[in-house]
Structure 1
Amino acid sequence: MTKDYAKKRKTARKSNKRSSRQSQPSRKPMSPILIFVGGVLLTLFAVFLWVLVKKPEIIKEVLPAKEDNQTVKTQDKPQEVKAEEPSSEPTFTYHETLTNKEIKVDGTQAVQTSSNTTYIMQCGAFRKSEDAESLKAEMAFIGFQANVEEKDGWYRVRLGPYSTKRAAESDRHKLQDNNYQDCRIW
């Protein structure tokens, strides 16, 4: 039995085509401290660029020494004194305008939305009148008074008319809470 075992091991070694683990170069993992420091530096650089692009006046406040050196150099040379020009930046008095503004409103006039639009909600259309009457009865148990109208061989179960779409939507949401999902507003 030992000879058979030795033969099997030799054939198994020959058929093994995988490369050994030692031939692959080993990579050392990066230090977590190095990763942290790199992340902090990258974040600081990104913040600096953002400030440089979005808020250049902050950079001028932080680095006033450079401006002082430039003004000293220009003062050494004689220049003509110019009268102050009005600044090109507009001055906004938005807060003052709003606090000093008075608006007079006529309180006697009421706003009326007199629209002739009425809304109908249809919850089903059936070929048989018995099916339409059954849906009408189910809606009556919930608290809605539906109408069954016949047109072109179809029996339609409808609610309404509603004067506003908001009222129709409110009833539709109540029906959806009771598992009547197919109601449409026209």
Structure 2
Amino acid sequence: MKEEDSATGFDHAAALGKEEDVLCSRNDSDDTEGSRKRQRRGHEPYRFSVLLVQYDTSARIQNKTQIIQYIERNNLGVKFQVAENGQQAVDLHSRDKASFNLILMDMDMPVHVTTGPEATRSLRALGVKSTIVGFSSESESEKIHQFISSGLSGCLEKPLTVEKIAYFLPRPSSQQAKLTHRGKTKD
């Protein structure tokens, strides 16, 4: 059954298969498979990696897109991956021995999956030292305090924007920043 948004015609089911892949950006290349092959052969190692953990499919796709566009526009050499819920994030670390510099963790996941606070506690219990930045639609509440207490490095209010998360990402080189600031892109 197609999960198509009637207002936009966006086919969520078609996007899901691609979304679960590791998405990479390195030196203006959007060749994900080729980037992964070069990575395995020891070429062009990524200096920084990001994991986005978000349950809501539409929001996850939107956030993934804007983050990848920012990474590519600034040529940051960042590896990017998504997880649909907290348990997938924990499994990536415990079972798959993955490691990320930055984990963006959604608090607002349904109780039938591992929530943001539960996943954060589990990751910290596994010894994960990554910067974990939570985000939530809650503005000020006991839930936010509990989320922060679960082991977060910081917490942001939804909606996520690149302006909000840019602080946690690597900075473009000064030359690249000047080119981007002038509205030009590097060839």
TM bracket, shorter-chain basis: under 0.3
Structure with more relative contact order (C-alpha pairs < 8 Å, separation 6 or more): 2
Normalising by structure 2, report the TM-score: 0.18
The structure with the largest helix share of the pair is 1
Larger radius of gyration: 1
